[in-house]
Chain A
Amino acid sequence: MSMIEIKNLHKYFGDLEVLKGIDLTVNEKEVVCLIGASGSGKSTLLRCINSLEKKTDGDIWIDGELVEHEKESSINHIRQKVGMVFQRFNLFPHMTVVQNVMEGPLTVKKLPKEEAKKLAMELLVKVGIDEKADEYPAMLSGGQQQRVAIARSLAMEPKVILFDEPTSALDPELVGEVLKVMKDLAREGMTMIVVTHEMGFAKEVADRVIFIHEGLIAEEGTPDQIFNNPQHERLQNFLGQILE
C-alpha cells in the first residue's frame, strides 16, 4: 500500500521553479533516502509533503488522503500523520525535554497530562535520553537534542517521518547516536523519507535511493544500483564529490 503518492508536483518561489514535476510513491514501511546537490530542491520537496510550503501544482496523497494546501483543517490533520525532523532540531527552549515530547499529544490530541507524560517517557527511553527528561534543551548536546526531536515527532504516532538532513548540524562524533535511533525506527517498520549526505546510512538502511537534480528525480534505485552503478553523469559527479 502506498503511504505517500506525489503526482506531477511543481513548486515555484516567485519566478524560480524549484520543483519541476516530481512523481514519487513511497510505500508503507519503506525507507527512502533523498540525495542531491545543495539547492536541488530536496528540502522543498519534504516541506511540500507536510505543507510547510504550498505546492504550485500537482497532487499529494498521504495515507490515501488528498492534501489540500488551501485548507487549514486539512493541513493540520495531515501533519498529525507526518512527522518532521529538522536539521536544526527546533526544540522548544522554554520547555523541558519531557514537556517538548508531551506538547503534541497534549495540545493537538488533547491527551490527559498523565497519559502524555507516560507516552513521552517511554519515547525518551526509546531514544536513550530519559535521564535528561527534566533538563532544558540548552543543556543538551546536539545529538541529544536531535534524539529528543525524534521522540517529539514520534509522540504524535505519525505514519511517516520526514528527516531533513538530521545530522548535518552535528559534530561528527555525535552523528552515530542519531543515526542509530533512525536505524532502529527503520527496523521497526516506520515509513521514512530521509534527506541525507550520510551515504553509509543510505547504503545500510534505505530501500530506495532517489537522486534529485535541479528539481527533478534524475535517477532512483536500490542503494546498490545508485552507489555502485550510477547511470547519470550528474549522479556520478555528485557521488565523486561526496565520497572525496
Chain B
Amino acid sequence: MEFATGFFNSTVNFFTTVIDFAPKFIPGVTATLQLAFLSILLGTAIGLVVAVLKLTRKKILIRIMNIYITVIRGTPLLLQLYFIFYGLPGMGIEIDRFPSAVIGLAFHNGAYISEIFRGAIESIDYGQREAARSLGMSRWQSTKRIILPQAFKRSIPALGNQFIIAVKDSSLASVITITEIMLLARQFVAATFNVFPIFFIAGVYYLVITMGLTKLLRMIELKLKVNER
C-alpha cells in the first residue's frame, strides 16, 4: 500500500512537473534551434569553401586549410568556445555571447563538413572531370557544374549525421551562458530539485529536433535521387 501511494505520488509529480515546465523551455528551445540552424548553415558554407579551396593547386591555401582542420579536430569544442568568448577579448577582439557561440560552432562543424565534402569529391570518378574538361570547361566550371552536384548528393547521409551532432553540440554553448535547452534545464533543476522530469523534458526536445532533422534530410535525399536509378 505504502509502495503504491509512493509510486502514485511520484507519477503525479512527474506529470505535473512535465506539464508545468515544458512550456518554460520554449526560450531555450528557440535558442537551441537558432544556434543549430545558424551553425549548420554557416558550417556547411565553410565546409564547402574549404573543400573547394583544397581542390586548387595552391600549396599555401591547402596548408592553411589543413592546419584549420587539424586544430579543430584535435581540440575540444569546449576549449574552442572558451577561446572565442574568453580568450579573444584578451587579444582585443570582443564578440558578443550569441555570435561567439555561432562562430565557434560553425567553424567546428565546418572542419568536419569539409572533410565530408572532400571524401565525396574524391569518390567521384575522374572520368567525370575529364569529360567536362574535354568539352572545354575550365577547372572551376567542371567543379561547379559536374563534380560538386554529384559530390553533394553523395554527402547527404554523412552530412545528416554531422547535423545531428551539431544540434547536440550546441548544448555546449551553455558554458558561455547562452540560455539554450541545457542551461535552462540545469537552472530549473537547481531551483526545484526535480531532476528526472526536467532532464526528461530536455531529452525529449532534443529528440524531437534531431528526429525532425533526420526526416527532413531523408526527404531531400529521396527528392534528389528520384529519377536517377
Contacts and interface: CB of A to CB of B under 8 A. Distances in A.
B60 interface: no
Interface string A101-119: 0011001100000000000
Interface stretch (A73-81, A124-132, A223-231): A73-81
Given A94-B150, A94-B153, A138-B228, A52 B137 contact: no
Interface string B214-229: 0000000000000111
Contacts of A233: none
B228 A92 contact: no
Interface stretch (A34-42, A82-90, A184-192, A204-212): A82-90
Interface of A: 50, 52, 72, 76-77, 79-80, 82-84, 86, 88, 90-94, 96, 103-104, 107-108, 136, 138-139, 149, 152-153, 156
Interface stretch (B123-131, B175-183, B204-212): B123-131
10 contacts: A86-B131, A91-B131, A92-B131, A92-B132, A92-B146, A107-B137, A108-B136, A136-B228, A149-B131, A153-B135
Contacts of A83: 134
B149 interface: yes
Given A94-B153, A136-B228, A138-B229, A156 B131 contact: no
Contacts of B134: 50, 52, 79, 82-84, 153
* Pairs of residues from A and B, 9 with the lowest C-beta to C-beta distance, nearest first: A90-B131, A104-B135, A80-B136, A84-B134, A90-B127, A79-B136, A108-B136, A138-B229, A94-B149
B203 to A, nearest CB: 39
A62 to B, nearest CB: 13
Contacts of B131: 84, 86, 90-92, 149
Nearest to B149: A94
B30 to A, nearest CB: 37
B8 to A, nearest CB: 60
B137 A108 contact: yes
Contacts of A153: 134-135
Contacts of A156: 135-136
A127 B132 CA distance: 20
Contacts of A76: 136-138
B133 interface: yes
B214 to A, nearest CB: 24
Given A86-B130, A90-B127, A93-B150, A79 B228 contact: no
Contacts, number: 69
Nearest to A87: B127
A108 B134 CA distance: 11
B229 to A, nearest CB: 4
A96 B128 CA distance: 15
Contact of B133 (A52, A88, A92): A52
Interface in B99-144: 125, 127-128, 130-139, 141
A93 B227 CA distance: 10
B136 A104 contact: yes
A1 B40 CA distance: 59
A72 B125 CA distance: 22
Most buried by B among A86, A93, A104, A156: A93
Contacts of A93: 150, 228
A107 B137 CA distance: 7
A190 to B, nearest CB: 16
Nearest to A52: B130
A107 B227 CA distance: 23
A194 to B, nearest CB: 16
B145 interface: yes
A96 B139 CA distance: 22
A107 B228 contact: no
A104 B153 CA distance: 22
A233 B206 CA distance: 76
Contacts of B125: 90
Given A52-B130, A92-B128, A136-B228, A79 B150 contact: no
B135 A79 contact: yes
A40 B137 CA distance: 29
Given A93-B228, A138-B228, A103 B136 contact: no
